[in-house]
Amino acid sequence: MTAAIVFLPLLGAILAGLFGRFIGRIGAQAVTSLPMLASAGLSAAVLWSVGFGDGPYTVTLFDWIRVGSFEASWALKVDTLTAAMLFTVSTVSALVHVYSIGYMHGDPSEPRFMAYLSLFTFFMLMLVTADNLVQMFFGWEGVGLSSYLLIGFWNDRPSANAAAIKAFVVNRVGDFGFMLGIAGIYLAFDSARFDTIFAAAPEMAGQTFRVFGTELPVLTTLCLLLFVGAMGKSAQIGLHTWLPDAMEGPTPVSALIHAATMVTAGVFMVARMSPLFEYSETALAVVAVVGATTALFAATVGCVQNDIKRVIAYSTCSQLGYMFFALGVGAYGAAIFHLVTHAFFKAMLFLGAGSVIHAMSDEQDMRRMGGIWRNVKVTYAIMWIGSLSLAGLPVFSGYYSKDTILEAAWGAHSAVGQYAFWMGAAAALLTAFYSWRLLFMTFHGQPRADEKTMAHVHESPPVMLVPLLVLAVGAIFAGMLGYDAFVGEGRAAFWKGALAVVGDDPIEAAHHVPPFVKLLPIGVAAAGILVAYLLYMVRTDIPAKLAEAAPGLHRFLLNKWYFDEVYEVLFVRPAFALGRMLWKRGDMGTIDRFGPDGVSLLTRLAARRTALMQSGFVYHYAFAMIIGLAVFVSAYVAGFAGVR
């Protein structure tokens, strides 16, 4: 059954990818969506049986790489963590498949699109079912490939191609860390299998080894190397620059890959490796600080963006930050809980935005929207539900997961925890603000689009609305239903040891925090909504005035803290300049000049000199012969004497 969950999407991808032209549009939709729905159904069953029944198991398929003591097999390891991911990934993916049938209608490359979506799902499922680091890396790179293909799906747009390459290369920077992490783990543990590594982790605590020319603590080094990989995939500050650009892909892609699933792979990886991270306080602290900083940083940028998808993209970046600082304070269950609820409401927000873009004849700039809520009532309701959940207002699912995270940060009783808590609370204020700014700018106020577009504004077809409504159910109820199992009283029975806890359980502490910690997030969210209402509904002149009053800050935020510009100057241009220099000056100017070209030049000169001696005058030759004879005789005599 597990194998079916993972390989059904691959089957769909192969059928639609290779035979798309023969089976046509409808055929491609069927061969990808139906297996995906089956896979989603099966994984719900697996979550039920693993989480609330038998517990973990592993299915070994066959050998992959076996050299010396190094072994990596193809295997499907299913514990509660995997089952939760299987359920989330396959459910969202199935809904996105169905939605895409409507959204991609009329695109000539639709079979290719469906094939890529299914291929992505296969890689993602391989990633979460891995029982060793190498298979995880297989899935990891595979989702990177699918992401690259889908971002660049409209491959005659230069911006889409640039974004695709950027996504792949920036992720590769993270993979550099991941790869060295795998090598380091093999060096330290003599294995890449999770079970073996986790069993040996306690002995490794406090040990050091010699790497990169210095003596370093084993677990901290390894965890940080792996975390570099997680930062790349999950778009944490520093390696986040690819995610906003990834919005060049079609909107269903943004919903599935760049919000609900792939970008959470880093969170999953750290949770999976929790038995290692638990023994390294330093590594956990780094994770928490990076996560908390990202949460706030991305929220500040999200407040001034005008592209509807970019706002949501920065929101994703920010929410991933929440998950990471939850991991960093040791509240793994809370992080995964937020991962699941976020997958539902963020996918919904993106698909809702897609519905808006669809209605507005492919317009994405919120400055050219407004006043359309009466025409797209279902979409409008969907966006409200999503925003309420994202802002973490009671009853909605985001409330349960996000509050647990903030409480766990407070409950950690550490400097890092405090930092995370206050950054998270500030980000919560901004989250509510930019969410309602989006709502008001998009749906309310005076219509700012041209008449032709406005005349076309229409609600999306049922094939797009039904997945949205299913997601809405998740966005409202997932928190309520999952709370007890993921982070509540039932958590030990649910996780069955899939997430390590060494020492105090921060989630336990989260249940015993002062009331203000519980109330603060709701308070700031309400405040954020109020401010957005004031600025974008009542006094619409204020935002422009604010921007004028602090032009430096505004430009700084609008330009996303200048990360792209700095990287361009620091890495991209120097790499090309250096390459050109090494080629022209190194290869041509030095190696060739003094190597083969120099030798041939010398030979030619020497030959010309020699040729000059062939003058045709007998006395020249006679002279040369006499000299030669003299040299020969003296050498002979000298040698003869020497031997004697």
Partner 1 sequence: MTDWPLLSLVTFLPLVGVAFILMIRGDEAVVVRNSRNVALLTSCATFVMSLFLWFGFQTGTAEFQFVEHAEWLPGTGISYRMGVDGISVLFVLLSTFLTPVCVLAGWTAITTRVKEYMIAFLVLETMMVGMFCALDFMLFYMFFEGVLVPMFILIGVWGGPRRIYAAFKFFLYTLAGSVLMLVALLAMYFQAGTTDIPTLLHHAFAPEVQTWLWLAMFASFAVKVPMWPVHTWLPDAHVEAPTAGSVILAGVLLKMGAYGFLRFSVPMLPQASADFTPLIYALSAVAVIYTSLVALVQEDMKKLIAYSSVAHMGFVTIGIFTMTAQGVTGALFQMLSHGVVAGALFLCVGVIYDRLHTREIARYGGLVHRMPKYAAVFMLFMMASVGLPGTSGFVGELLVILGAFQVNTVVAALAATGLILGAAYMLFLYRRVVFGKLDKEDVKTMQDITGREMAMFAPLVVVVLWMGLYPAPFLDIMAASVDNLIANFETARAVADAASAAVAMK
Under the rule (CB under 8 A), what is the footprint of partner 1? 62-70, 134, 137-138, 140-142, 145, 148, 152, 155-156, 158, 161, 164-165, 168-169, 172-173, 175-176, 179-180, 182-184, 186-187, 210-213, 575-576, 578-580, 582-583, 586-587, 591-592, 595-596, 599-600
Handedness of CA 582, 583, 587, 589 (dihedral sign): negative
Which lies closer to partner 1 via its Cβ, residue 210 or residue 644?
210
Give the C-alpha separation, 182 to 300, whole Å: 35
Q: How far is the CB of 279 from partner 1 (least distance, A)?
A: 21
Q: How far is the CB of 496 from partner 1 (least distance, A)?
A: 29
DSSP H helical segments within 273-376, as ranges? Answer: 274-277, 281-302, 308-328, 332-359
Tokens of 454: 């406005």
Which lies closer to partner 1 via its Cβ, residue 178 or residue 314?
178
- Tokens 């003591």 map to which residue? 69
Which lies closer to partner 1 via its Cβ, residue 153 or residue 421?
153
Q: Write the DSSP symbol of residue 589.
A: I
Q: How far is the CB of 104 from partner 1 (least distance, A)?
A: 17
Residues 6+ apart with CB under 8 A from 163: 151, 152, 242, 245, 246, 247, 248, 249
Instruction: Give the chain's radius of gyration (CA, Å).
Output: 31
Give the C-alpha separation, 58 to 2, whole Å: 9
Going by C-alpha positions, the residue among 47, 29, 49 that lies closest to residue 39 is 47
Q: How far is the CB of 7 from partner 1 (least distance, A)?
A: 13
Going by C-alpha positions, the residue among 449, 443, 436 that lies closest to residue 535 is 436
Q: How far is the CB of 272 from partner 1 (least distance, A)?
A: 17
The torsion of the CA quartet 532, 534, 540, 546, rounded to 10 degrees, works out to -70
Going by C-alpha positions, the residue among 285, 301, 325 that lies closest to residue 243 is 301
Q: How far is the CB of 582 from partner 1 (least distance, A)?
A: 5
What are phi and psi for residue 130, nearest 5 degrees?
Answer: -60, 145
Which lies closer to partner 1 via its Cβ, residue 68 or residue 552?
68
Which lies closer to partner 1 via its Cβ, residue 167 or residue 298?
167
Give the C-alpha separation, 476 to 478, whole Å: 6
Q: How far is the CB of 27 from partner 1 (least distance, A)?
A: 17
Which lies closer to partner 1 via its Cβ, residue 155 or residue 634?
155
Which lies closer to partner 1 via its Cβ, residue 67 or residue 613?
67
Q: How far is the CB of 237 from partner 1 (least distance, A)?
A: 19
Which lies closer to partner 1 via its Cβ, residue 185 or residue 237?
185
Q: Calculate the alpha carbon distances from 210 to 98, 207, 553 in Å.
A: 52, 11, 45
Which lies closer to partner 1 via its Cβ, residue 225 or residue 507?
225
Which lies closer to partner 1 via its Cβ, residue 26 or residue 65?
65
Going by C-alpha positions, the residue among 102, 101, 106, 140 that lies closest to residue 123 is 140
Q: How far is the CB of 94 from partner 1 (least distance, A)?
A: 24
Q: How far is the CB of 14 from partner 1 (least distance, A)?
A: 12
Q: How far is the CB of 13 from partner 1 (least distance, A)?
A: 13
Q: How far is the CB of 525 from partner 1 (least distance, A)?
A: 40
Which lies closer to partner 1 via its Cβ, residue 49 or residue 208?
208
> Can you say how many angstroms the Cα of residue 437 is from the centroid of all Cα atoms in its chain?
26
What are phi and psi for residue 307, nearest 5 degrees?
Answer: -80, 125
Tokens of 29: 């939709």
Q: How far is the CB of 358 from partner 1 (least distance, A)?
A: 25
Which lies closer to partner 1 via its Cβ, residue 193 or residue 491?
193
What are phi and psi for residue 310, nearest 5 degrees?
Answer: -70, -35
Residues 81-91: b if buried by 16+ CB within 10 A, e if exposed: bbbbbbbbbbb
3-state secondary structure of 488: coil
Q: Under a CB-based contact definition with an 8 Å cutoff, are residues 134 and 73 in contact? A: no
Which lies closer to partner 1 via its Cβ, residue 599 or residue 637?
599
- Tokens 């783990």 map to which residue? 185
Q: Under a CB-based contact definition with an 8 Å cutoff, are residues 363 and 407 in contact? A: no
Going by C-alpha positions, the residue among 93, 74, 78 that lies closest to residue 47 is 78
